[in-house]
Amino acid sequence: MAPSVSNQDLGDAVLDSIRNGAFPQSEQVASAQVTTEALPKLLDIVRKAREDARDEIRTASRDAASDVDGWITQARKLQGDIKRSQEAAHDIVQQAEKGKEHTAKVQDAMVKVSLLYSEIGYNETLVHVVERIRDISALLDSAQDAAVHGTVMQALDKLEAGEATLKQLDAFENTRVVGVLTNRVNQLRAAIAEDMTDSWNALLVIDSSARRISFKASIERDAPVTIETVVEALTRLNLLDGYTATLSRNFDNIITCPRLAPGSDRTVSSFSIAGDDIWIDGPIKDLSVKAAIDDICSIADFVSTRLPPSINVPMSAKLVPVIVGRLISHWLLPNIPLSIDGVPQFRETHTLVSGLVDLFDELEWTGHDSLRHWLDDCPNIWLARQKEAAIVRLHRLCPRRVRQKETVERVETQMVSKGDAMLDQHDGQDEDWGEAWDDDEKEPSVDQKAHAQATSSEIEEEDMSAWDDEDEQRDVTEPKEGVQSKQETEEEDVDAWGWGDEADAEPTPSNTTEVQPETSKTTAPRQSTREKEVTLRESYTVTAIPDTIIEIILQVISDVEQLYEPDSSDAAVAPASAGLYAIPSLVLAMYRATAASHYGKDVAGNMLIYNDCSRLSDQLQSLLQEQAGKDHTSPLPQHLRPSTQLHLTDDIRAIERFGKRAYGREMDSQRTIIKDLLSGAQGFKSCTASPFDMECDNAIAMTIDRIEEVKRTWQSVLSPSALLQSLGSLVSTALTKLIDDVEEMTDIAEDESKKLHSYCVSLASLSSLFQTKNAAGEVQDMSGIYTPNWFRFQYLSEILDASLADIRYFWTDGELKLEMEAEEVVELILALFAESEYRRKAIAEIRRTSMV
């Protein structure tokens, strides 16, 4: 129930809300109910407040009455002032209207006076224009008479004077009389130009059909006409540039092009000069650069002696660039020697070109800047040609050399420890070192399996881990600068050739039996009583491409030495000798960029790339070492010695990475194929149900066939250790796929278990791929060494065909815990066996012992 509030309080709250818009502060007042009985009281309170407000207003009005009277008096005065201002403004407007009438009369008078002055000025201007028209007409008459009488220069003088006067009549250019004069000037100019054109054609005769050009000094017409007069007239007529360009083009097409540009039959034409004539003869027999430059000099002499400078100099600006361009492209560049034997002859060519430049300078001819640049840049041009020739040579030889295969041997010395499988293969009779396996049919011991796991700790699924040890071994034999450069960030070989980013897949030696391809360890730490030095020899197949690249590099070194000899040291190309050392890097980059196209036709192309890169890396390192020894007694200065200039350390690493990526791509491809084949079994979840059982059988059979086929393909290419490593990676991929599929099965029936066990037995037959012989001729199974998950797979096979007691024994007394996690075994037990007390005890025992 709402609290009781007095009517007076309610009235005060309503009145406060009306006056100030305030809300009641008291919760009781705000929540009180207003009854009908309280309304009269509320109205009385409001009415009383209104009466009080009226009284206050009346009191305030009586106090301000005197001020209001003053305001009214001032307002009346202001109205009177406004009325007087309006009357004054009206008077001002009337006076302004009277002023406008007077102004209009004055302006009309001024316009009439201005019109009279304009008429007078027009009449005076008209008199001057008529006088000028008369003068122009007289000048044109005189120019026409001079042209008729053969005085062309006088005619041009008067014609130009008439044109200058005519331009002063620009205000009357639209009048009839000015139009007539303009037409007459144009006709007279055209007549003079036509006459000079005829004279030009008569003096400079171009006979394209006979391939002959004649330059005459003068001709006899109505009056003798000389070439100088014609040139001056054409210059003043603004026609000389066009005629000179046409003459240059015709001269080039008829004379210089047949002489300097070989045709489709690779022949050029000779020319003859007699008097004022020059013409093309039959094919020329002398195709030397000297003959070409001598003929250019003859052409320059003919043009400069028979044409005035006003023609031959502008003509040279258009003709010389064409001549120089053909000389460089068709004669100088092709004759750059690709061998050092041609350097003396090239020195003579350089002298001849320098003489030609001097001749052009003497004649003040232009357009031969490119020839001067060729002289200045001759060493760089020669060097660029050498680089191009080396790359072209490699590109031309690679398709043939890639088909030439040979077997090479790699020798490597390594330190091995007791129990290493490598030692078993090479020193199986040493009783102190023991056998890796006690018996082919016996289970491997815990120590042996632990050693196998340690030596193959990195799963080769991606073949990426790889060659860190190999790089460290290589540092032992690399020069000092090579060791320093290995601390820098390695640049990918794709930077210069636009290759896309690839996964840097690398072949991974899975154990110590893998022979490192690139280096031989000739130094070793202090031998302990448990280590022994073993020398390994392995053969593998390479193409002839590495030898080809080495031949090119050796040729570069030989060229530098020959350029330093006394008879070649002053040659124009000698300054570029140090730049020849950039060719090996370019050749190696070219090889990396084009190798895929050369090896693509071979079924084992990627593996051949890997072998060739290994071979090439070894050869380059040996070459650097040999050169470092030779340079101690070399007569070459320090900046020309191969050991100083051949910076191949980064290129060697790039070649090695390139080979490893090729290996990785091939391994990825084969692993993908194997995974796809096993994926056809659809996880082996229906391996006993038709028709899925046939799919599972086919998947296992095709996987085995595929791996065996890969071995047959690679067996003749890879070294034995690399072959075993690669096959181990592929087998590991297949086993991993099968293990994962089986572990994902949550319920395995008895018949399915037997079927899966048979698949494991089939895949276990791949162990025959890893049968090797030790030094005693005994056959050893190296599956566990080269296949990291081999023992895990074997235990899975046993679990699929074992009882709970057997599995429990494998875990507690066997070595199952070394291959699988406790939960993996538990999940397999849950999938294979029904719920029972024995299963619960076995699972509990496995989980308990896994925590110990």
Distances (CA, A) of 523 to 147, 477, 482, 720: 104, 9, 18, 24
- Listed residues 613, 634, 661: the one ending a domain: 661
The 10s digit of each residue's pLDDT in 226-282 is 888 888 888 888 888 898 999 999 999 999 999 998 877 788 999 999 988 999 988
Query: Residue 384 domain-assigned?
Result: no
- How far is it, in rounded angstroms, from Cα 495 to Cα 804? 60
**Residues linked to residue 273 through DSSP beta bridges, in sequence order:** 278
**Is residue 620 included in any domain, yes or no?**
yes
Q: Coil, helix or strand for 526?
A: coil
Question: Residue 245 falls within a domain, yes or no?
Answer: yes
Locate tokens 């030495």: which residue?
561
Please indicate, yes or no, whether residues 42 and 144 belong to a single structural domain of this protein: no
- Beta strands 531-543 and 405-417 are antiparallel
Question: What CATH number is attached to the domain comprising 846?
Answer: 1.10.357.150
Mind giving me the DSSP string for 448-475?
Answer: HHHHHHHHT-S-TTS--S--HHHHHHHH
Residue 76: band (very low, low, confident or very high) from pLDDT cuts 50, 70, 90: confident
Statement to judge: residues 645 and 745 lie in one domain: no
The predicted model gives 464-489 an average pLDDT of 36
Is the bond leading into 691 cis (omega within 30 degrees of zero)? Answer: yes
Q: Which pLDDT does position 706 carry in this prediction?
A: 93
User: In the prediction, which pLDDT does 10 show?
Assistant: 75
Mean pLDDT of the residues in the chain = 78
Same domain, 679 and 800: yes
Question: Tokens for 14?
Answer: 């309503």
Q: Answer yes or no: are the C-beta atoms of 130 and 137 closer than 8 Å.
A: no
pLDDT at 655 over 50: yes
Answer whether residue 390 is part of any domain.
no
Domain that holds residue 58: 7-63
Which of these, 147, 578, 204, lies nearest to 382 by C-alpha position? 578
Is residue 787 within 8 A of residue 763, CB to CB? The reply is: no
Residues linked to residue 532 through DSSP beta bridges, in sequence order = 416
Report if residue 112 sits inside a domain. Answer: yes
Q: 814 and 722 in one domain?
A: yes
Whether residues 57 and 80 share a domain: the answer is: no
pLDDT top residue among 9 and 537? 537
The residue among 846 and 133 whose pLDDT is bigger is: 846
CB atoms under 10 Å from CB of 828, counted, come to 21
Calpha distance 286→89 (Å, rounded): 112
The average pLDDT across 390-397 equals 91
Q: What is the DSSP string of 69-118?
A: HHHHHHHHHHHHHHHHHHHHHHHHHHHHHHHHHHHHHHHHHHHHHHHHHH
Side-chain-facing half-sphere of 26: CA atoms under 13 Å: 13
Q: What is the mean pLDDT of residues 398-417?
A: 82
As a whole number, mean pLDDT of residues 561-589 equals 78
Contact in structure between 707 and 438 (CB atoms under 8 Å): no
Q: Are 178 and 166 in contact (CB under 8 A)?
A: yes
Instruction: Identify whether 233 is part of a domain.
Output: no
Residue 405 backbone phi and psi in degrees, to 5: -105, 150
Of 169, 200, 231, the residue at which a domain comes to its end is 200
Secondary structure element (H or E) that encloses residue 270, with its range: strand 269-274
Give the Cα separation of 741 and 752 in Å (integer).
Answer: 13
Q: How far is CA 611 from CA 497, 544, 584, in A?
A: 22, 11, 20
pLDDT given at position 468:
36
Return d(Cα 122, Cα 120) in angstroms, integer: 6
In angstroms, what CA-CA distances link 730 with 32, 588, 672, 788? Answer: 92, 31, 10, 11
Query: 469-475, long-range: CB within 8 Å, 24+ apart, which pairs?
Result: 469/509, 469/516, 470/509, 470/516, 470/517, 470/518, 470/519, 473/516, 473/518, 473/519, 473/521, 474/518, 474/519, 474/621
Residue carrying structure tokens 């050869």: 619
pLDDT digits (tens, 9 = 90+) for 303-356: 999 999 889 999 999 999 999 999 999 998 888 887 777 777 888 888 899 999
Rounded to whole angstroms, how far apart are CA atoms 429 and 485? 44
Which of 156, 177, 292, 162 has its CA nearest to residue 234? 156
pLDDT at 452: 38
Residue 505 has pLDDT above 80, yes or no: no
Same domain for 838 and 793: yes
Q: Please, which residues bridge with residue 849 across strands?
A: none
The confidence band for 447, taking pLDDT boundaries of 50, 70 and 90, is: very low
What region does 238 belong to: left with phi over 0, alpha with psi -120 to 50, or beta? Answer: left
Is the pLDDT reported for residue 27 higher than 80? no
Residue 3 confidence (pLDDT)? 55
Beta bridge partners of 780: 772
Cα–Cα distances (Å) from 577 to 387, 482, 691, in that order, read 12, 23, 74
pLDDT digits (tens, 9 = 90+) for 86-125: 888 888 887 777 778 778 878 888 888 888 888 877 776 7
- For residues 684 and 596, membership in a common domain is answered with no
pLDDT at residue 356 in the model: 93
- Contact of 559 with 580, CB cutoff 8 Å: yes
Per the CB < 8 A criterion, the answer to whether 752 and 785 are in contact is no
Look at residue 74 in the predicted model and tell me its pLDDT: 80
Tokens of 691: 């028709």
Q: Do 609 and 754 fall into the same domain?
A: no
Q: How confident is the model at residue 758 (pLDDT cuts 50, 70, 90)?
A: very high
Is the CA virtual torsion 680, 682, 688, 691 positive or negative? negative
Is 217 part of a structural domain of the chain?
A: no
What's the CA angle centered on 133, arms 127 and 135, to 5 degrees?
105
Give CA–CA dist 808/806, Å, rounded: 5
Q: What is the mean pLDDT of residues 758-774?
A: 89
Amino acid identity, residue 311? I
Is 209 inside a domain boundary? no
Say if residue 533 is in the same domain as residue 573: yes
The pLDDT assigned to 488 comes to 38
Average pLDDT over residues 462-473: 37
Residue 54 and residue 120 share a domain: no
Among candidate residues 200, 224, 251, the one where a domain is terminated: 200
Has residue 729 got a pLDDT over 90? yes
> Do 511 and 642 belong to one domain?
yes
Report how many domains make up the chain: 5
Q: Is 749 left (phi over 0), alpha (psi -120 to 50) or beta?
A: beta
Q: For residue 530, name the pLDDT band (cuts at 50, 70, 90).
A: low
Place of tokens 């220069």: 153
552-573: average pLDDT: 76
In this predicted structure, the answer to whether residue 414 has a pLDDT above a threshold of 50 is yes
DSSP letters, 220-265, are ESSSEEEHHHHHHHHHHTT-HHHHHHHHHHHHIIIIIHHHHS--TT
Q: Are 427 and 532 in contact (CB under 8 A)?
A: yes
Closest CA to 776 of 498, 436, 396: 436
Q: Are residues 59 and 72 in the same domain?
A: no
Q: Pairing mode, if any, of strands 204-207 and 212-215?
A: antiparallel
Closest CA to 506 of 538, 544, 461: 461
pLDDT winner (highest mean) among 66-70, 282-286, 731-735, 779-783: 731-735
Residue 285 has a pLDDT of: 83
Residue 248, Ramachandran bin (φ over 0: left; ψ between -120 and 50: alpha; else beta): alpha
CA distance 653 to 666: 20
